[in-house]
Amino acid sequence: MLDDLKMIHDRDKEDALGVTEKQWQQLGHQFDAEVPNFQDIRNVVFAGMGGSAWPALYVKSWPGVNVPLEVVSNYELPPYVDEHTLFISSSYSGNTEETLAALAEAEQRGAQIVVISAGGKLVDIAHEKGFPLYTIPGGIQPRMSSFYFITAMVQLFEPLGLVTAGSTAELAAAGDWLKDQIGEWRPDVPTARNAAKQLAQELMGRSLVFYSGPKLFPVANKWKICSNENAKNVAWVNQFPEYDHNEFIGWSSHPVDKPYGIVEIRSNLENERIQKRFEISERLLSGLRPAPHIVVPQGETQLQQIIWTSNFADFVSLYLALLNGLDPSPVGLVEKLKEELNK
């Protein structure tokens, strides 16, 4: 079915697969924003929802930020936000109500403010009040623009001394590397040779669960969200070692033939104890849960493994949408929710 290019073209009306194939280009995008002359930054608060929030988790994992960084997906800010806080207001649409509310509070607190957005009210506010603005190119779904957000953050953080020098160049180089890795997942590559199509077929008709270690957890979280939004598929996510302290036991009862598809992202860069936990947990749960589908991230560095697995996850979730008989791009129920909230 997934080798029927006409079916793919008919269902994927906004060419989400084509956008995904070109995501590597986002990692080398040059923003024309002027880097602010902020002083005495003691913490970073990143306010965003969904696809406009998880890029901060990526940057927190790689390259890492040398001051505390907290992601706020809420209307309200933590009490410590003040003039020593770098506050980043992030929304692809620019109209996310939680993010706008957090921005207003950050301004009242005297935080040092930056805006990352593709348009809407957030861009208008940035222009009106002179906030530094990193403009994301528009025309795609927010969840397909996460690499733009990562690139904007790194280009902001590096001159401010918040990440390792050279991170921007490393990110662009990783994008060029990724370009050469993803050819085997394209729609014109038959299922027999296409790992993304194969995994989508294995996961079809199941509720999905994604597990990883801490270094790759931002990717596991993204895969969960893209499964929700692209494939319209219920999914959950957790990470080791927390998994072994509670959720691990949850698999040990109820019917053995549970209707779940389990994906484990096993990186060789995780702590060796994490790697051992994956192996032992799988052995102890043998026969008590569906056998996991193991994804081994490719790449020598953490950054390469993160972007490789992210792109693979996107392809899998898009093929799963097509198998579900759906156009992956629209999220009509979310728009309906917003309409109801605005009544």
Which residue among the candidates 229, 232, 264, 270 is catalytic per the annotation?
229
What letter would DSSP give residue 220?
H
72 phi and psi, to 5 degrees?
-110, 115
CA angle 153, 219, 281 (to 5 degrees): 145
Q: Is the distance from CB of 308 to CB of 174 less than 8 angstroms?
A: no
135 backbone dihedrals φ, ψ, rounded to 5°: -90, 120
Question: What SS3 state is found at 287?
Answer: coil
97 catalytically annotated = no
Cα torsion at 318, 179, 54, 313 (round to 10°)? 30
Catalytic, out of 9, 13, 336, 338: 338
**Catalytic status, residue 338:** yes
H helix and E strand count, the chain: 13, 9
Distance CA 220, CA 228 (A): 13
**Which strands form 235-239's sheet, in the order they lie side by side?**
235-239, 207-212, 260-265, 293-295
Catalytic site includes residue 276 = no
Which are the contacts of 342, defined by CB distance < 8 A and separation ≥ 6? none
Q: Give kind and range of the element (H or E) at residue 254.
A: none
Phi-psi region of 260 (alpha: psi -120 to 50; beta: other; left: phi over 0): beta
Q: Which residue among the candidates 128, 245, 339, 343 is catalytic per the annotation?
A: 245
For the annotated catalytic residues, the residue numbers are 229, 245, 338
